[in-house]
Amino acid sequence: AIFAAAEDIETYTGRYLIARTVQARFPVLPTTNCIDIRRAPNVEISGVSVWDGAEYVSVPAASYLVEGVDYPSLYFPFRPAFSDQNTLYPLKVAFTAGYGTDDDVPPILKRCVLEYVADLYNQRGDCGGDNLSVRGAMQRPQMPKSVRMKLGRYRILRTFG
């Protein structure tokens, strides 16, 4: 239940509670030549690759700028050449994001995880109504409204996925 609650809170807020390395893939480079990495906090870009038609090729760090700290953006002064043939996601960005350790996670986020776990425990026997999917399979109960309200100020509204 703790893992489920933490995962739902990470999804809802757009923040990783514990640091992890992620590879995000993007369908195109916008006309602004800028990509928002909307996962927080403490994002460190470790690599950018583009699809050349046969494989992903690394883009030198000198070819892009990282702007912002908590919610960084990648800015490409010159558009990298890439092929969108044979792949849906020609741009790949590897980065590390999240609070470093348990001590770095804000207390309110920890409290929200505990409240959510308590709510899941209290609803452990609920087997119908809103908890059934269209196919009749059990679903996890929704995040309590009180938890969502506390998480509001930590929420990043635009995330890559």
Q: What is the pLDDT of residues 10-69, one digit of tens each?
A: 999 989 999 999 998 888 777 788 888 878 887 788 999 988 888 889 999 888 888 876
What's the token pair of residue 2?
A: 């703790």
Residue 143: pLDDT over 70: yes
Residue 54 has what pLDDT? 84
Residue 161: pLDDT over 90: no
Q: How far is CA 21 from CA 29, 42, 50, 51, 74, in A?
A: 22, 12, 18, 21, 17
The pLDDT tens digits for 111-140 are 999 999 999 898 876 655 555 555 555 566
Q: How far is CA 18 from CA 3, 42, 57, in A?
A: 12, 11, 29
Residue 127 has what pLDDT? 54
The CA distance from 120 to 157, in Å, is 25
The pLDDT tens digits for 86-111 are 677 888 999 998 998 889 999 999 99
Q: How far is CA 74 from CA 31, 48, 77, in A?
A: 13, 10, 10
Contact (Cβ atoms closer than 8 angstroms) between residue 37 and residue 72: yes
Dihedral sign for Cα atoms in the order 55, 61, 64, 69: positive
- According to DSSP, residue 60 is labeled P
The pTM assigned to this predicted structure is 0.75
Beta bridge partners of 66: 74
Type of residue numbered 3? F
Residue 149 has what pLDDT? 96
Residue 52 has what pLDDT? 84
3-class secondary-structure state, position 26: strand
Chain center to CA of 111: 20
Q: How far is CA 108 from CA 9, 30, 87, in A?
A: 12, 36, 41
Residue 139 has what pLDDT? 65
The reply to whether omega before 107 is within 30° of 0 (cis) is no
Average pLDDT over residues 132-156: 79
Average pLDDT over residues 67-88: 75
